Amino acid sequence: MASANGYRRVVVTGIGAVSPIGLNVGENWEAIVAGRSGLGPITHFDAVGRGFGTQIAAEVKGFDPLTRVSAKEARRMDRVIQFAVVAAFEAVESAGLQITEENAERVGVIVGSGIGGLATLEQQAAVLAEKGPKRVSPFLIPMMIADMPAGQISISLGAKGTNFCPVSACATSAHAIGEATENIRRGAADVIIAGGTEACITPLSIAGFGSMTALSTRNDEPQRASRPFDRERDGFVMGEGAAMLVLEALEHAQERGATILGEVLGYGSTADANHITQPSPGGEGGVRAMRIALQGAGLQPEQIAYLNAHGTSTPLNETLETASIKTVFGEYAYRLPISSTKSMTGHLLGAAGSLEAIYCLKAIETSTIPPTINYEFPDPTCDLDYVPNEPRHADLPYVMTNSLGFGGHNVSLILGKWEG
């Protein structure tokens, strides 16, 4: 079944997630609705003893890759790969998708990571420095490179279709969803597992982002540290995890009797061409991404019922994102519910966009808008409706989610309720 422009329609039939607030989609959504924070002191390394300015993060707790892969396989996977494979298995199982020799070539994987296997790189760099080149692991490269989560998902599931890894910082997994949608629309695949993964709560990463003054230093109250749009925000909190969506051509999903969770309606992708870390003045790049997504979806701004903002909890981001929303939505911006789920999950960098897309799908399904927790002190530059501290009931036929990355990468996605 094609849309009015002749392209195939693309729906979501499966979702899977590992995050700081849950090891599966059910746990994630329960925590989101409850407004539960996944932030706490860093335990992956001794941030206090080593004098780090930022000593907090949003770590995944209780994760066991052996629920999905063998001990031998797990040892050859960086944590970033383990997260991805586990989330992909959940997504495929929730979709009821069987990948066989008959359909494998029509099932693709587009999964990205902003940073890749940084923990492995740091560990093996130390081995090189201390013990010499002959002691460096032969698995360093396949554990470290950013494309290997996509490769390992393909290997684990037997998916033989298109397979690649977008890398666009915090827009990575939103790009993965958008590019997967475009591949299916033009007939290059019937099904694509799309998403992102990140596992860089490591000394080098925290030191690097800390040197940029990008991270919160609210170490004495970590669960209140991520506070998007709040006047007292002082930086983002690093998160980790993975989120995967099974995207499928509508006719393919219907032929196999799949449960449809929602439809991907719009995808806008732009560049700021402005600065290595700062958004363009007025959020101009984000404005164009949102407008392209709306045009592709054939929607007017007033038809968007909820917007999941990029909302990292950094001073400049929320001010400019708010300005861009006002430009796109006009007076309706003041009535549009907006929230940032990063207030609970922290910032998963390359995995943020796909995780937030899953939250949007659950919001549509349950008619529940997630809150922005820790919103206490209004900022005069951020004067819209950020759904403070409590979830809200509303019918959500169309929702938008934004992802903005260092380097000036902007992605806006629009998801719609499936009416059958």
Model confidence over 79-123: pLDDT tens digits? 999 999 999 999 999 999 999 999 999 999 999 999 999 999 999
Of the pLDDT bands very low, low, confident and very high (cuts 50, 70, 90), residue 205 is very high
Same domain, 315 and 381: yes
Q: Which of 208, 234, 255 is the last residue of a domain?
A: 255
- Please list the active-site residues: 170, 310, 347
User: Same structural domain for residues 305 and 404?
Assistant: yes
Residues in the chain: 420
**Does the pLDDT value for residue 254 go beyond 60?**
yes
CA–CA separation, 131 and 142 (whole Å): 21
pLDDT band for position 6 (cuts 50, 70, 90): low
Asked if residue 287 and residue 353 are part of one domain, the reply reads yes
Torsion of CA 274, 277, 283, 284, to 10 degrees: 20
pLDDT of residue 5: 56
pLDDT score for 420 = 77
Tens of pLDDT along 43-67?
Answer: 999 999 999 999 999 999 999 999 9
For the cut 80, the answer to whether the pLDDT of residue 412 exceeds it is yes
Residue 5 counted as domain residue: no
Residue 211 within any structural domain of the chain? yes
Structure tokens of 124?
A: 């093996």
Do 269 and 192 reside in the same domain of the chain?
no
Are residues 238 and 362 located together in one domain of the fold? no
Q: How many CB atoms lie within 10 A of CB 173?
A: 36
Quick one: 248 and 282 in the same domain? no
pLDDT over 70 at 33, yes or no: yes
> How far from 195 is each of 241, 282, 335, CA to CA, in Å?
11, 29, 30
| Residue 8 DSSP symbol | B
**What is the per-residue pLDDT for 303?**
98
* Angle 205-207-208 from CA coordinates, rounded to 5°: 65
Whether residue 312 sits in one domain with residue 186: no
Domain, as residue range, for 180: 10-255
Residue appearing with tokens 């219907």: 254
How far apart CA 146 and CA 165 sit, in angstroms, is 7
According to the model, what pLDDT value does residue 152 have? 98
Using alpha carbons only, how large is the chain's radius of gyration in Å? 20
Instruction: Please state, in angstroms and rounded to a whole number, the distance separating the CA atoms of residues 214 and 234.
Output: 8
Domain-terminating residue out of 235, 255, 275 = 255
pLDDT value of position 279: 83
Confidence of residue 278 (pLDDT cuts 50, 70, 90): confident
Q: Percent helix, strand, coil in the chain (nearest 5)?
A: 40, 20, 40
Residue 4 clears pLDDT 60, i.e. is over it: no
pLDDT tens profile 350-368 = 999 999 999 999 999 999 9
Give domain status of residue 127, yes or no: yes
Instruction: Report the CATH number that the domain containing residue 368 is assigned in CATH.
Output: 3.40.47.10
d(CA 327, CA 355) in angstroms, rounded, equals 26
**Out of 2-11, 280-289, 298-307, least confident range:** 2-11
Confidence (pLDDT) at 288 = 97
User: 2 in a domain, yes or no?
Assistant: no
Q: Express as a percent the part of the chain with pLDDT over 70.
A: 99
Query: pLDDT category, 3, cuts 50, 70, 90?
Result: low
Question: Do 202 and 273 belong to one domain?
Answer: no
Specify the number of domains making up the chain: 2
Q: Coil, strand or helix: which one is 41?
A: strand
State yes or no: pLDDT of 1 exceeds 70.
no
Least trusted range by pLDDT, from 185-194, 277-286, 347-356 = 277-286
Distance CA 39, CA 31 (A): 12
CB 386 within 8 A of CB 369: no
Same domain, 40 and 165: yes
Where does the pLDDT of residue 244 fall: very low under 50, low under 70, confident under 90, or very high at 90 and above? very high
**Do 349 and 328 lie in a common domain?**
yes
Q: Which residues contact 380 (CB under 8 A, 6 or more apart)?
A: none
Q: Is residue 269 part of a domain?
A: yes
Q: Sorting pLDDT into bands at 50, 70 and 90, what band is 2?
A: low
Does residue 72 share a domain with residue 180?
Answer: yes
> In whole angstroms, what is the distance from residue 146 CA to residue 148 CA?
6
Higher pLDDT, 7 or 321: 321
pLDDT of res. 85: 98
Based on the fold, state whether residues 142 and 184 are members of the same structural domain.
yes
Q: pTM of the prediction? A: 0.97
Last-in-domain residue among 226, 255, 284? 255
Tell whether 205 is covered by a domain.
Answer: yes
Q: Does residue 32 lie within any of the structural domains?
A: yes
Supply the mean pLDDT for the chain. Answer: 96
Model confidence at 282, in pLDDT bands (50, 70, 90)?
A: confident
In a domain, 3, yes or no: no
Tokens coding 324:
């861009």
